Amino acid sequence: MNEMYKAPPKEIIHSVKECINLINRYTPQKEVDTLMNLLSLYAKVPSEAIVLSTGSDLLIKEFMFLFSNNRKIIIAEPTFVIINNSAQNADSASLKIKLSEPDFKISLEPLHHELKKPSLLVFDNPNNPTGSLILTQDDIETILEHKNAILLIDEAYFEFSKVSYVKLINKYPNLAILRTLSKSFGLAGSGIGYLIAGDLICKKFQGLEIMLPYPSVIAGIKALMHQNYMTDYINEVETEKRRIIDFVLELGVVVYPSYTNFILMKTELQGISEKLAELGVLVYDASNQLGSEYFRVTIGSKKENDFFLETLKNIVISNKD
Amino acid sequence: MKTKHNYKKKIGLIVNPIAGMGGSVGLKGTDGDIYKKAIKMGATQVTPIRANELLLNVKNKEKIILIVAPGKMGADIVKDLGIDFEIIGEIGTETTKEDTKRIAKQMVEKSIDLIIFCGGDGTARDIFDSIGLEKPVVALPAGVKMFSSVFAINPRAAAEIIDKFIEGTIETQEKEVLDINEDLFRKDILQAKLYGYLKVPKVLNLIQSGKTGSGSGRTIEENKQDIAQFMIENMEDNILYLLGPGTTIKTITDNLNLPKTLLGIDAIYDNKIIGRDLNEKAILELLNKYKKTIIIISPVGGQGFIFGRGNKQITPRVLRKVGKNNIKIIATTDKMRELVCLRVDTGNIEIDKMLIGFGKVITGYKEELIVKIE
């Protein structure tokens, strides 16, 4: 649901179509190497610091599997559902920190005692579904100074937030950063996720390399070679985001600061997502995470956004007592 | 051969005709004889309008048969709506809470699937007294005092819940019925006591998508069982456990095959009940007798109170003796989602200060949530 609304540029589509003719073959290593080199240039880290996988969902699950043994898993509440469910299904004990409105920031105060013990912290920054930046650099360094703690930060939306802590991997061997080409590059269907970390963490993934499908690798290569479309998309999202926020504030809808390509909103109406769905607008129903008066709307095309705003306006007006 | 089956759901409807009349004339409730004063002051009935709006908004009208209380308690409202209905019981010219209680019971005897009642906290208490957790209810808010968490938001929301119930896409959960001291409330003092629980339908999230849904799809009941299992595995011998009110805590004693007073404080030692429905004096006596005590509590009162609502027996003196580190808070993830924070209001500033800050709530098997306590 939280995808780029339009198809990626022709160059990408064309190359992916071409490579389908070689679908009988395993993905050629040289193409994988090219993708790794491009990612290395893009993230400004050596390619040895990158672990490539089919989507960041799988990397989250693998990371928890590799590093949660005898460690308490610490996550935010709410958080990206895959993080939540992976923590819940792990054998280790889990501790969630409730994020509070309006800024949904993590408070480390109650964690001081926990951080002295072996722990695995997994935070999405910006957070999904709130869209907030929940950690500051100070928070991150405070966590990482504890040698018993391992920290995984999911930066799936960092191109929108323009905040990344990738540089800290040189200083802290207990830090890993997770990224994806599914969001700002609009390649959700290709499922390309990558992890950036120091030797100690990357070594654990040796021998577990996942072969990405050939079309995905080609899509990734071409996307990284044509990054302009990604920056254009981000600018478009920012402009539309401002327009949407101004409009819904007029309706009395509560809007939370967004550092992503979606916005979290709250109305006084319960089951708002369902009402929108009945009228043809699909939004992410945050009722399982925050309550049924909350919903997360992805920035779509101008036309889609107009339809959403009009529909929301009608619902809000018709429910005013 | 019979080709037509009667699949209609039997839905009870009880309207408290005088509920809410105090509101417009500033009387803060119509418990007892206050409603007569309200009428003299020019108050008009509000519940028939609310109940009417609810029924008009129900989409599956042809799939239900209403079992209604007579006259102004139900029949007068439904007669022109085109919904099948049957009248049950009898009432006099002036209705009382005894009518509500008696008719609710008769409805349960008639095997209704769900009861809709329209009123306030007082009506909710009458329904609880009469049917307890036997049948699910939809509570339509129309009273002046509606602090209980059983109430739907408004008639339209209640109608949606009823439609979902008819369609079968529903799970029930226990919600609190509170008793507000009306005399004090008129003096702007809010004193709430946990009175009981009613079973309320919970509308499930109906929008499906690949990445929706958290909590690995466990039900509220499974969640309670997870918490109970974790608590039982971590219970130790030679420790006195004081168990607070609520259905989440009752799941622990159910699993231990021990009785539990739903609303009281009970004590367990070495897997045996050693005290039931204890008051402060009895608790203090136990604290003197046993070396170590752990209090297990769950938030009550709708707004997340862990102390000061519904468990007043656990007094500041008790809390000082037991200590903050020996308090275990348990709650389902569902309940915690609705709460912004936990609250304390023990009546003693020093003890409140000891308790505020951050607290850990056990929300599943080996699963905790850190939340603010204010």
Same domain, A274 and A191: no
Percent of chain B with pLDDT over 90: 52
- Name the B residues in 146-175 with CB < 8 Å from any A CB: 153-154, 156-157, 160
Residues 6 or more apart in contact with residue A100 via CB below 8 angstroms: B340, B341, B372
pTM as predicted: 0.78
What is the reported pLDDT for B48? Answer: 86
Residues 6 or more apart in contact with residue A145 via CB below 8 angstroms: none
Where a domain ends, among B203, B232, B256? B203
Same domain, B146 and B230: no
Task: Please state the domain count of chain B.
Answer: 2
Residues B55, B15: Cα–Cα separation, whole Å? 12
DSSP codes, A153-195: EE-TTHHHHT---GGGGGT-TTEEEEEESSSTT--GGG-EEEE
Contact predicate A156/A182, CB 8 Å: yes
Residues from chain A contacting residue B153 (CB–CB below 8 Å): 270
Confidence of residue B203 (pLDDT cuts 50, 70, 90): low
What is the reported pLDDT for B204? Answer: 52
Same domain, A206 and A264: no
Determine how β-strand B266-269 pairs with β-strand B240-243.
antiparallel
Where a domain ends, among B203, B238, B269? B203
User: Does any domain span residue B365?
Assistant: yes
Q: Does A1 touch chain B (CB under 8 A)?
A: yes
What mean pLDDT is reported for chain A?
94
Residues from chain B contacting residue A316 (CB–CB below 8 Å): none
Q: Does A70 touch chain B (CB under 8 A)?
A: no
Kindly tell me the burial class for residue B10, based on how many C-beta atoms sit within 10 Å of its own C-beta (0-12, 13-18, 19 or more).
middle
Contact A271 B160 (CB under 8 A): yes
> CA A190, A193, A199: angle at the middle one, nearest 5?
150
Same domain, B196 and B230: no
Q: In this structure, what CATH number is given to the domain that contains residue A262? A: 3.90.1150.10
Residues B310, B120: Cα–Cα separation, whole Å? 19
Of A109, A111, A274, the CB nearest to B206: A274
Q: Does A279 touch chain B (CB under 8 A)?
A: no
Domain that holds residue A297: 229-318
Q: Does B214 touch chain A (CB under 8 A)?
A: yes
> For helices A228-250 and A302-318, what crossing angle results, to 10°?
20
Mean pLDDT of B181-199: 73
Same domain, A272 and A130: no
What beta strand segments (E) does A78-199 contain? 94-98, 119-124, 149-154, 175-180, 192-197
Same domain, A206 and A236: no
Determine how β-strand B327-330 pairs with β-strand B240-243.
unpaired
Same domain, B42 and B72: yes
Where a domain ends, among A204, A225, A246? A225
Same domain, B247 and B163: no
User: Does any domain span residue A2?
Assistant: no
B218, B370, B371, best to mutate vs chain A, most A CBs in 10 Å: B370
What mean pLDDT is reported for chain B?
85
ipTM: 0.87
Of A89, A111, A277, the CB nearest to B216: A89
Same domain, A206 and A239: no
Domain that holds residue B59: 9-203
Q: In this structure, what CATH number is given to the domain that contains residue B20? A: 3.40.50
What is the per-residue pLDDT across A5-53, written as a single tens digit (0 to 9) for each? Answer: 999 999 999 999 999 999 999 999 999 999 999 999 999 999 999 999 9
> For helices B121-131 and B97-109, what crossing angle results, to 10°?
40
- Whether the pLDDT of residue B188 is over 70: the answer is no
User: Does any domain span residue B209?
Assistant: no
Which chain B residue has the Cα nearest residue A321? Answer: B154
Contact predicate A131/A259, CB 8 Å: yes
Contact A282 B216 (CB under 8 A): no
Same domain, A155 and A66: yes
Residues A309, B56: Cα–Cα separation, whole Å? 28
Same domain, B315 and B356: yes
User: Does any domain span residue B4?
Assistant: no
Number of Cβ pairs closer than 8 Å across A and B? 89
Task: Enumerate the β-bridge partners of residue B114.
Answer: B11
Determine which helix (DSSP H) or strand (DSSP E) holds A32, and give its type and residue range: helix A29-43
What is the reported pLDDT for B7? Answer: 76
Q: Does A136 touch chain B (CB under 8 A)?
A: no
Residues B172, B214: Cα–Cα separation, whole Å? 19
Same domain, A188 and A258: no
Please tell me whether the peptide bond between B136 and the residue prior to it is cis, using omega within 30 degrees of 0.
no
Where a domain ends, among A225, A240, A263? A225
Contact B337 A289 (CB under 8 A): yes
Q: Cα-flanking dihedrals φ and ψ of residue A119, to 5°?
A: -145, 155
Same domain, A95 and A193: yes
Kindly tell me the burial class for residue A246, based on how many C-beta atoms sit within 10 Å of its own C-beta (0-12, 13-18, 19 or more).
exposed
Task: Enumerate the β-bridge partners of residue B138.
Answer: B116
Same domain, A194 and A106: yes
Written as one letter, the residue type at B207 is: I
Answer left, alpha or beta for residue A280, where phi above 0 means left and psi between -120 and 50 means alpha. left
Q: Does A78 touch chain B (CB under 8 A)?
A: yes
What is the reported pLDDT for B22? Answer: 64
Same domain, A147 and A45: yes
Residues A134, A229: Cα–Cα separation, whole Å? 28
Identify the three-state secondary structure at position A178: strand
Among A169-178, A216-225, B211-220, B297-306, which stretch is predicted with the lowest mean pLDDT?
B211-220
Residues from chain A contacting residue B46 (CB–CB below 8 Å): none
Cα–chain center distance at B185: 20
Same domain, B109 and B189: yes
Contact A110 B207 (CB under 8 A): no
Nearest to B303 by CA among B344, B333, B350, B352: B344
What is the per-residue pLDDT across A68-125, written as a single tens digit (0 to 9) for each? Answer: 999 999 999 999 999 999 998 899 999 999 999 889 999 999 999 999 999 999 999 9
Where a domain ends, among A194, A225, A256? A225
Same domain, A30 and A75: yes
What is the reported pLDDT for B251? Answer: 94
- Whether the pLDDT of residue B206 is over 70: the answer is no
What is the reported pLDDT for B4? Answer: 43
Written as one letter, the residue type at A214 is: Y
What is the reported pLDDT for B209? Answer: 32
Determine how β-strand A94-98 pairs with β-strand A72-77.
parallel
**How many residues make up chain A in this entry?**
321
Among A8-22, B7-21, B281-295, which stretch is predicted with the lowest mean pLDDT?
B7-21
Which chain B residue has the Cα nearest residue A290? Answer: B337
Give A314→chain B minimum CA distance, Å: 16
Which chain B residue has the Cα nearest residue A270? Answer: B157
Same domain, B167 and B279: no
Give B368→chain A minimum CA distance, Å: 5
Q: In this structure, what CATH number is given to the domain that contains residue A29? A: 3.40.640.10
- Name the B residues in 336-355 with CB < 8 Å from any A CB: 336-338, 340-341
Task: Please state the domain count of chain A.
Answer: 2
Contact predicate A100/A91, CB 8 Å: no
User: Does any domain span residue A19?
Assistant: yes
Identify the three-state secondary structure at position A24: coil
Mean pLDDT of B39-67: 86
Contact predicate A267/A253, CB 8 Å: yes
Which chain B residue has the Cα nearest residue A129? Answer: B212
